[in-house]
Chain A
Amino acid sequence: MSEFSEGLAEILEVEAAEITPDYELGAAWDSLAIVSTIALIDEVYDRSVGVQELEDCKTVGDIQRLVEAQGA
């Protein structure tokens, strides 16, 4: 999870320590962040998630749950 968290921190332009499941994506969750996250999920987990579902995520936890659901 930590490589993923670090990647997310870089995408959202915050410190890695701030990436907790409750962290709200907010305005930083723009088209560039989403595209970057698709690439990050591919790199770290070798998985793909639904684009619409990813766009609808509101927190880091939402993203993590989406990724985990794909792995099942």
Chain B
Amino acid sequence: MRPPNQLPGSVPARIVGVATHLPDRVLTNEELAAQFPEWPAEKILEKTGIRERRIAADGETALDLGYQAACKLLDREEGLREAVDFLIFCTQAPDYVLPTSACILQDRLGLGTHVGALDINLGCSGFVYGLALSSSLIASGAARNVLLVTADTYSKYINDRDKSVRTLFGDGAAATLIRAGDGSCQAALGPFVFGSDGSGAKALIVEAGGFRLPASAATAEERTDRFGNIRNQQNLYMDGAGVMAFTLREIPQVYAQLLEKSGTSAGDYDYVVLHQANKFILDVLQRKLGLAGNRMPRRYEDVGNTVSSTIPLVLAGLFEGGKLTAGTRIMVLGFGVGLSWAGGVIQF
């Protein structure tokens, strides 16, 4: 029986709900196989666990996807829109370099102008960082109802002839409402652990288009890599092997760190929700962390890797399945581009 007390480093706060939104267009394995004959549909499914992924339409931005997810969430209950007092928008494909996309989202959602709003530029670790920020805002009394929206359109960075990343990534968004706990509920967020390793910056990168390497004719020139993938410096590049090596090296340690910081053990968790990179990495982590399959929920087959939305997409499914009831305790672990990682405990 789990102790009912709050964990050290936790904040009384509750995840009220999660809503998700995926763009309409579906990119199937069959379509990829038609373009890359050496990469048959069954092999893609077997190796990555992904059958299809969603692709945002031309002119449909991450903000558009995030807006849809947020509307779905806020429309669930009377008064939710008015209650939001802080908005965090996590994306790596903002509408503009400036202004802040979260400000635009505040306006589109019809939130009050007293609302705080900011963007965070993170990928696979973004949701957990967002939760940590939300819980800190709540702990300090700076906010009571934080709307955390994660949304990305990596497809817009990906070269159509780069089968490595085209196979793995999908577009999507999620909106999560985090509310300050009142005295009565036992729900809590935290503790959190964080990690950053900028020496791995080039492992997952869109190299050109920022100020370090402005876009130019040279950066638009396509090159073929040693595996036959074609991309230019304005496209997304992923060193899959480097990311795998990083994951194997760091994530088991982060898991252990979080157990130690929270004073819990593996058996204290109903679920461990990892960033849903792909089946392969999750199989490896399941083995390394010693987790039973039924305690490590997955979702990637129909959506691929939706970057900062992978964890809330799993949470939405758990909510819908009635799995996240009072007393449920889960761990969330996001890791990837940056290199960046974060882990946290969620007590429902």
Contacts and interface: CB of A to CB of B under 8 A. Distances in A.
Contacts of A30: 227
Contact of B241 (A42, A43, A51): A51
Contacts, number: 38
B240 interface: yes
Contacts of B245: 38, 48, 51
Most buried by A among B241, B244, B245, B249: B241
A43 B284 CA distance: 8
A72 interface: no
B242 A51 contact: yes
Contacts of B287: 43
Contact of B248 (A34, A42, A54): A42
Contacts of A51: 239, 241-242, 245
Interface residues of A, number: 14
Nearest to B47: A32
A64 interface: no
B164 interface: yes
Contacts of A14: none
Interface in B117-166: 164
Contact of A39 (B229, B242, B248): B248
A59 interface: no
Interface string B316-328: 0000000000000
A2 interface: no
B161 to A, nearest CB: 14
B248 A48 contact: yes
Interface of A: 30-32, 34-36, 38-39, 42-43, 48, 51, 54-55
Given A43-B287, A51-B239, 8 more contacts: A30-B227, A34-B240, A35-B241, A38-B241, A38-B244, A42-B288, A48-B249, A51-B242
20 contacts: A30-B227, A31-B164, A31-B229, A31-B240, A32-B47, A32-B240, A34-B240, A34-B241, A35-B244, A35-B280, A38-B245, A39-B248, A39-B280, A42-B248, A42-B284, A43-B284, A43-B287, A48-B248, A51-B245, A54-B241
